[in-house]
């Protein structure tokens, strides 16, 4: 991409993050929703379930990686849907289509902005999960942050593509997760496994394999979704 | 604001050859052919559903024709979308603005998307041109329809396009804003710009443009000087549109 295309990418990132910062109500609602999801799991399973994992932990702590990713996915779908809801007001999506330049720069900008929004969400979700599920996060934070970033990148790439594809549909709130979740299975699987190994110990040295899988899927998803983005926003 | 470099004056600003557009079973345009030379101002007239907006959207690359060819400064709208889009400014029914951003921020975003260096002076001048300098730092959500319409015009012309496509630009404007818009468009035409205007306000449209093109059921039924339109047999339709 040429220099002026990167200027377009930056314009999209700037506009989306500024808009998101100003509509705090949406972010607050999503953060509240994420907290609620984590809390419901905590209440439903409870800290005293007498099933223990290999490291002697309780059931809730044992399945915490899966629960955290469920919360991230459910909240993330809302955030991704919103990123194109903004473009539907005043016909802004058509305005985007009518700017000269490659449409993939719009896709890249949207993916970066969505990674930023999802990361901000995770900064809230993960510590809440740490408290509710009694997980020791601090000692494992760098590895956890790396896995969170890799999985978020793949999630944002596919999610941005499908959010653009469903933006004009009347049933977009239903269609987005229906299309997105099946495609996300490999990333979610790798993210949950990697998170589990980070939190519970990697006795068999499997972590690097799951991280490599995440990197491969990220590369495929980011490339394909960026190249195909122009078709997703076509009239 | 100077229009961007265009091809030689002999290349028409807009050339439509047998342009047809069908939506499911409805024909919006039926083999429309039209040539608009650079520097021309054309008012597209016609009742609702006559195909005016569809024609404008085809020229703007917002939609593809079912058949036929639309050329803008010699570039095919369907295939050379980028070349066409950098030479047009479209003021649509919808403003394409972001309500949570201020007027200046909306223009800064547009400048980024057009690849214009983001200098505040240029943005301030664009806002002053449409009389919005005092509201530069107000969020667009708080704008009246007329203010939003004027900001949309500033956004559409920020990259100094040689061709301006206007769809109902007079809607929602008060008397002062109408005067400002007339001055703005007059100045654009005086600099050699080309304008295609769609409006239901006959008097305004015929005054603003030298040439009138009337559409009915997707076909061109009148193409001539605006001054001749009222005395033409097609003007009988005016009562239906006005």
Complex ipTM value: 0.89
pLDDT number for residue A51: 64
The pLDDT score that the predictor gives to residue B7 is 54
Sheet holding B211-216, edge to edge: B88-91, B163-167, B194-198, B41-45, B211-216, B219-225
pLDDT of residue B232: 83
Residue B242 has pLDDT above 80, yes or no: no
Supply B172's token pair.
């929602």
Residue A199 DSSP SS3:
helix
Q: So what's the pLDDT on residue A149? A: 97
Q: State mean pLDDT over B203-229.
A: 91
**Across-strand partners of B69?**
B17
Q: Provide, as residue numbers in chain B, all residues whose Cβ is less than 8 Å from the Cβ of A95.
A: 94, 96-97
The rounded percent of chain A whose pLDDT value lies above 70 is 96
pLDDT of residue B68: 95
The residue-averaged pLDDT of A40-65 equals 78
Contact B106, B140 (CB under 8 A): yes
Cα B42 to Cα A107, A168, A200, distances in angstroms: 36, 32, 72
Query: Per the CB < 8 Å rule, is A98 touching B109?
Result: no
For the residues B23-37, what does the mean pLDDT come to? 93
Model's pTM, two decimal places?
0.90
Query: Cβ contacts of residue A154 below 8 Å, gap of 6+?
Result: A184, A187, A214, A217, A218, A221, A222
Confidence of residue A188 (pLDDT cuts 50, 70, 90): very high
B138 close contact with A: CB closer than 8 A: no
- pLDDT band of A124, cuts 50, 70, 90: very high
- The pLDDT, as a whole number, for residue B1 is 47
Per-residue pLDDT for B203 more than 80? yes
Shortest CB distance from A90 goes to which of B85, B97, B113? B97
Q: Sorting pLDDT into bands at 50, 70 and 90, what band is B5?
A: very low
For the segment A102-111, the average pLDDT, to the nearest whole number, is 94
Q: Is A99 on the interface with B (CB under 8 A)?
A: yes
B82:A235 CB<8 A? no
Residue A193 has pLDDT above 90, yes or no: yes
Sorting pLDDT into bands at 50, 70 and 90, what band is B121? Answer: confident
Distance between A5 CA and the closest CA of chain B, angstroms: 8
- Give me the mean pLDDT over the A77-95 stretch: 91
- Rounded (5°) CA angle B83-B84-B88: 125
Residues B94, A94 contacting (CB under 8 angstroms)? yes
Average pLDDT over residues B142-153: 93
Average the pLDDT over B175-186 and give the result: 90
Mean pLDDT value across residues B84-105: 95
In 3D space, the residue among A21, A4, A120, A203 whose CA is nearest the CA of residue B139 turns out to be A21
What pLDDT score does B8 carry?
58
Q: Which residues of B touch A25 (CB under 8 A)?
A: none
Mean pLDDT, rounded, for A98-113: 94
Average pLDDT, integer, range B82-107: 95
Label residues A141-150 b or e (16+ Cβ within 10 Å = b): eebbbebbeb
Q: What is the per-residue pLDDT across B225-236, written as a single tens digit (0 to 9) for each?
A: 998 988 887 777
| Cross-chain Cβ contact B98/A98 below 8 Å | no
With 70 as the cut, is the pLDDT of residue B24 above it? yes
The phi, psi pair for B59, rounded to 5°, reads -65, -35
pLDDT in the model for residue B2: 43
Check CB contact of A50 with chain B, cutoff 8 Å: no
C-beta of residue B44 within 8 angstroms of C-beta of residue B213: yes
Q: Which of the four pLDDT bands, split at 50, 70 and 90, describes residue A50?
A: low
Whether A55 has a pLDDT exceeding 90, the answer reads no
Q: Is B94's Cβ below 8 Å from some Cβ in A? A: yes
By CA distance, what is A86's nearest residue in B?
Answer: B98
**Phi, psi (rounded to 5 degrees) for B214:** -105, 135
Q: So what's the pLDDT on residue B237?
A: 64
- B27 vs chain A: nearest CA distance in angstroms? 18
φ and ψ of A105, to 5 deg: -65, -30
């Amino acid at each position: 991409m040429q220099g002026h295309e990167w200027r377009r990418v930056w314009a999209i990132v700037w506009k989306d993050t500024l808009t998101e910062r100003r509509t705090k109500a949406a972010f607050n609602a999503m953060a509240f929703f994420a907290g609620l999801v984590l809390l419901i799991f905590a209440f439903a399973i409870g800290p005293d379930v007498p099933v223990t994992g290999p490291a002697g932990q309780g059931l809730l702590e044992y399945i915490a990686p899966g629960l955290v990713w469920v919360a991230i996915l459910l909240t993330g779908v809302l955030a991704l849907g919103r990123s194109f809801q903004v473009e539907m007001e005043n016909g802004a999506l058509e305005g985007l289509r009518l700017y000269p330049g490659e449409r993939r720069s719009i896709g890249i900008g949207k993916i970066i902005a969505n990674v930023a929004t999802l990361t901000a969400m995770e900064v809230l979700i993960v510590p809440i999960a740490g408290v509710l599920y009694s997980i020791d996060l601090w000692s494992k934070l760098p590895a956890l942050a790396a896995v969170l970033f890799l999985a978020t990148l793949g999630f944002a790439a596919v999610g941005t593509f499908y959010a653009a594809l469903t933006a004009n549909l009347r049933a977009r709130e239903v269609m987005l997760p229906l299309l997105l979740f099946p495609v996300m299975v490999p990333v979610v699987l790798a993210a949950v496994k990697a998170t589990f190994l980070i939190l519970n110990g990697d006795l068999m040295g499997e972590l690097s394999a799951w991280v490599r899988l995440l990197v491969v899927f990220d590369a495929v998803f980011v490339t394909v979704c960026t190249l195909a983005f122009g078709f997703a926003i076509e009239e | 604001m100077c229009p961007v470099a265009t091809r030689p004056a002999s290349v028409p600003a807009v050339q439509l050859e047998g342009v047809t557009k069908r939506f499911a079973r409805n024909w919006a345009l039926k083999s429309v052919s039209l040539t608009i030379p650079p520097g021309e101002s054309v008012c597209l007239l016609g009742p609702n559903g006559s195909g005016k907006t569809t024609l404008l959207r085809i020229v703007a690359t917002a939609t593809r024709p079912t058949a036929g060819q639309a050329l803008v400064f010699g570039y095919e709208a369907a295939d050379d979308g980028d070349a066409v889009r950098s030479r047009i400014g479209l003021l649509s029914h919808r403003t394409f603005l972001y309500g949570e951003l201020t007027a200046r921020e909306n223009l800064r975003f547009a400048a980024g998307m057009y690849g214009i260096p983001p200098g505040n002076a240029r943005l301030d001048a664009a806002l002053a041109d449409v009389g919005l300098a005092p509201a530069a730092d107000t969020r667009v959500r708080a704008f009246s329809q007329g203010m939003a319409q004027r900001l949309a015009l500033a956004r559409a012309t920020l990259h100094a396009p040689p061709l301006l496509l206007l769809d109902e630009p007079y809607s929602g404007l008060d008397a002062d804003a109408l005067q400002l818009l007339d001055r703005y468009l007059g100045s654009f035409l005086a600099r050699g710009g080309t304008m295609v205007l769609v409006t239901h306000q006959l008097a305004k449209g015929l005054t603003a443009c030298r040439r009138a093109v009337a559409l009915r059921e997707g076909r061109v039924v009148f193409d001539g000087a605006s001054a001749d339109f009222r005395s033409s047999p097609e003007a009988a339709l005016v009562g239906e549109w006005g």
